[in-house]
Amino acid sequence: MPLDTETYTLPVARTIADLQAQVTAWRAEGLRIGFVPTMGALHEGHLSLVDLAARHADKVVVSIFVNPTQFAPHEDLDAYPRTEQEDAEKLAKRPAHLIFAPAAREMYPEEFDLSIQVSGPSEGLESDARPHFFAGVVTVVAKLFAAVKPDIATFGEKDYQQLLVVKKLVRDLDLGIEIVAGETTREQDGLAMSSRNAYLTSDERRRASQLYAALNNVADTIKQGASITEAREAGLAILHEAGFDPIDYLEVRDAETLTPLETVTSPARVLAAAKLGATRLIDNIPLEI
Amino acid sequence: MPLDTETYTLPVARTIADLQAQVTAWRAEGLRIGFVPTMGALHEGHLSLVDLAARHADKVVVSIFVNPTQFAPHEDLDAYPRTEQEDAEKLAKRPAHLIFAPAAREMYPEEFDLSIQVSGPSEGLESDARPHFFAGVVTVVAKLFAAVKPDIATFGEKDYQQLLVVKKLVRDLDLGIEIVAGETTREQDGLAMSSRNAYLTSDERRRASQLYAALNNVADTIKQGASITEAREAGLAILHEAGFDPIDYLEVRDAETLTPLETVTSPARVLAAAKLGATRLIDNIPLEI
């Protein structure tokens, strides 16, 4: 298998054929395959998902692919950080066994005509701000699943709506892949790790932790007996005060279905997305009464 | 595996779990799996696809599932012939090894949210008359492929546009399934075999063969040097004379892409769909100059 092993310690497959040659060989040995899809620019959040996958599988494939179809024309596709050399060095220190880093043309050959939608959990929240986002995510994840054919895959709770959408894809398409959720990894001040944090100025970086503070304030206020409406108002005030603008949403939703709640009687999730300067941040936390 | 073997000679799996238990066992023996998806009401056209699959695989799974999502509300879902006992008896005489006959709830559980589209070959022709047809077909075929995980699958050329759409699904989703096309099986007078032929009155049945005659007339006229426009006019006259009304389309298209042609310089296909009384018939033939 012609893997590029000169530059990196870990083997890197550039084509689906090379990827499948390795995965098929592992499967023939009876090994269980874990998969961690990423867009690169790896931080400790991604690496914790690699560790998590390794606890559920014998071999872990990590994909690095900045998927163009989940970016809108005005979004940050070109600016999105690409750091493959550093990513490979980080992965070499973790229980990862193969990097799959295809070119866009390998995933989307000319005359690519496929689009997969999952309604239900994909509606609202992120879709209001980014209408084509989940169709892009679902289509590329389905293609990556078809290419890797993993037994299990890990997804971070930081992108909570995406996690539910991927679970629904697996269920509705009967893919038989176990989706394991990884808890959000945070900086010391609570800011959720994200590749997009690199866009923040130092002043914005200092204020960014107020997103997590606002989520916790909403959860705590509800736990103390306030209504969702009251709690949201208090949370929005924190975000405005910290300079977030616009605030795309700050919502309390059912944790399984993301349907809006009047009151919290079953496991819920507090979710927010807002811009700080030019950078859009998202985060969420669990809320159980 | 609790397969229902009392009524039929062939085992029948009603659930994806039972299906996969059998297919996984076969695969563990190194056997190659062939798949023939059908909506039942089996005729010699379907059975020839079973024979064809058996020439490319060790074990052949035949699904019988009248897929509700590919019928529009005004179409013939309820009237569509259901003849499972006879279908099973016919399959028992062919190289079929397992019937997969799920209930609609097994394929579409409550809160089913998935939709898969393949643009390109699905545009125009059938989609003009049946706008939601191919989304329904593609979604159920992707689910059946995920459930059976076949090495090869056979599809009839009678539904030529569907054949191209399924090939595109497999390519764009990197499913790695070989799609083998089966030639259209015809009655003695040339009428393509179809489960819907059972709807025809005896008078309509007699006139129905003019659909195949019209296709051949178009092809022959072009081979004799006429333009596509002239040939279509002659073909439409035959259909009108035979009482087809409305004629949804009678077209000469590129055989690979189904794009409209000015002149025939590469392999082409002559395709038609038209109603005879209450019954909509479709057919197509190859055209090479």
pLDDT in tens, chain A (289 residues): 455 544 558 999 999 999 999 999 999 999 999 999 999 999 999 999 999 999 999 999 999 999 999 999 888 898 898 999 999 999 999 999 999 999 999 999 999 999 999 999 999 999 999 999 999 999 999 999 999 999 999 999 999 999 999 999 999 999 999 999 999 999 999 999 999 999 999 999 999 999 999 999 999 999 999 999 999 999 999 999 999 999 999 999 999 999 999 999 999 999 999 999 999 999 999 999 8
Please give the backbone phi and psi of residue A219, each rounded to the nearest 5 degrees, phi first: -60, -45
Categorize the per-residue pLDDT at B4 as very low, low, confident or very high, splitting at 50, 70 and 90: low
Q: Does A78 touch chain B (CB under 8 A)?
A: no
Instruction: Answer yes or no: are the C-beta atoms of B164 and B258 closer than 8 Å.
Output: yes
Q: Is A259 on the interface with B (CB under 8 A)?
A: no
Complex ipTM > 0.90? no
* DSSP letter string, A170-198: HHHTT--PEEEEEPPPB-TTSPBP-GGGG
Quick check: bond before B246 cis, omega within 30? yes
Mark yes or no for CB contact B146/A175 under 8 Å. yes
Nearest to A147 among B113, B143, B174 (CB): B174
pLDDT of residue A4: 52
* Burial (CB count <10 Å: 0-12, 13-18, 19+), residue B213: middle
**Catalytic choice (A46, A97, A132, A240):** A46
Residues of B in contact with A114 (CB under 8 A): 116-118, 168-169, 172-173
- For residue A30, the model assigns a pLDDT of 93
Do A12-182 and A195-287 come out as alike in CATH topology? Answer: no
Q: What is the pTM of this model?
A: 0.92
Cβ burial, residue A174 (10 Å; 0-12/13-18/19+): buried
pLDDT band, residue B76 (cuts 50/70/90): confident
CB contact, 8 Å: B29 with chain A?
A: no
Q: Indicate the domain borders of chain A.
A: 12-182, 195-287
On chain A, the residues whose CB falls within 8 A of the CB of B146 are 173-176
In CATH, the number for domain A12-182 is 3.40.50.620
CA-based angle A153:A69:B125, to the nearest 5? 110
Q: How confident is the model at residue B249 (pLDDT cuts 50, 70, 90)?
A: very high
| DSSP state at residue B6 | S
Q: Is the pLDDT of residue B189 over 50?
A: yes
Q: In a 10 Å sphere around its CB, with 0-12 CB exposed, 13-18 middle and 19+ buried, how is residue B17 labelled?
A: middle
* B46 included as an active-site residue: yes
Q: A175 CB near a chain B CB, below 8 Å?
A: yes
How many CB pairs lie under 8 A apart between chains A and B? 70
pLDDT of residue A3: 52
User: Among partner residues B109, B142, B174, which is closest to A16 by beta-carbon distance?
Assistant: B174
Mutate: best of A23, A105, A114, partner B, most B CBs <10 A: A114
Q: Radius of gyration over alpha carbons of chain B, in Å?
A: 19
Q: How confident is the model at residue B1 (pLDDT cuts 50, 70, 90)?
A: very low
3-state secondary structure of A41: coil
- In chain A the beta strands, taken as DSSP E runs, fall at 12-13, 33-38, 59-64, 98-100, 114-118, 152-156, 178-182, 247-254, 268-276, 279-287
Cβ burial, residue B2 (10 Å; 0-12/13-18/19+): exposed
CA distance B99 to B241: 42
Q: Is the distance from CB of A27 to CB of A33 less than 8 angstroms?
A: yes
- pLDDT at res. B7: 52
Residue-wise burial string across B62-84, b where 16 or more C-beta atoms lie within 10 A, e elsewhere: bbbbbbebbbeeeeeeeebbeeb
From the list B113, B143, B172, the residue facing A114 with the nearest CB is B172
Measuring CA to CA, which residue among A160, A159, A179 is closest to residue A169? A179
Q: Are A190 and A208 in contact (CB under 8 A)?
A: no
| Per-residue model confidence (pLDDT) at position B114 | 96
Mutation pick from A23, A116, A145, A151 vs chain B, by most beta carbons of B within 10 Å, is A116
Half-sphere exposure of B233 (CA within 13 A, CB side): 4
In a mutational test of the A interface, the residue from B172, B257, B258 whose CB has the highest number of chain A CBs within 10 Å is B172
Q: Which helix (H) or strand (E) holds B229?
A: helix B228-241
Contacts of A167 (CB under 8 A, 6+ apart): A121, A179
Query: How many angstroms separate the CA atoms of B80 and B192, rounded?
Result: 18
Q: Which CATH class is domain B195-287?
A: alpha beta
Residue range B242-269: mean pLDDT, rounded = 96
What are residue B65's phi and psi, to 5 degrees? -155, 110
**Confidence at residue B221, expressed as pLDDT on a 0 to 100 scale:** 97
- B110 near A CB under 8 A: no
User: pLDDT confidence of B9, banded at 50, 70, 90?
Assistant: confident
Of B20, B142, B169, the CB nearest to A173: B142
**pLDDT 10s digits, B32-75:** 999 999 999 999 999 999 999 999 999 999 999 999 999 998 88
Among A5, A19, A2, residue whose Cα is nearest residue A101? A19
Would you call B71 helix, strand, or coil by DSSP? Answer: coil
Please state, as a whole number, how many other Cβ atoms lie within 10 Å of the Cβ of residue A222.
Answer: 24
A152-156 β-sheet, strand order: A12-13, A98-100, A59-64, A33-38, A152-156, A178-182
Q: How far is CA A2 from the centre of its chain?
A: 30
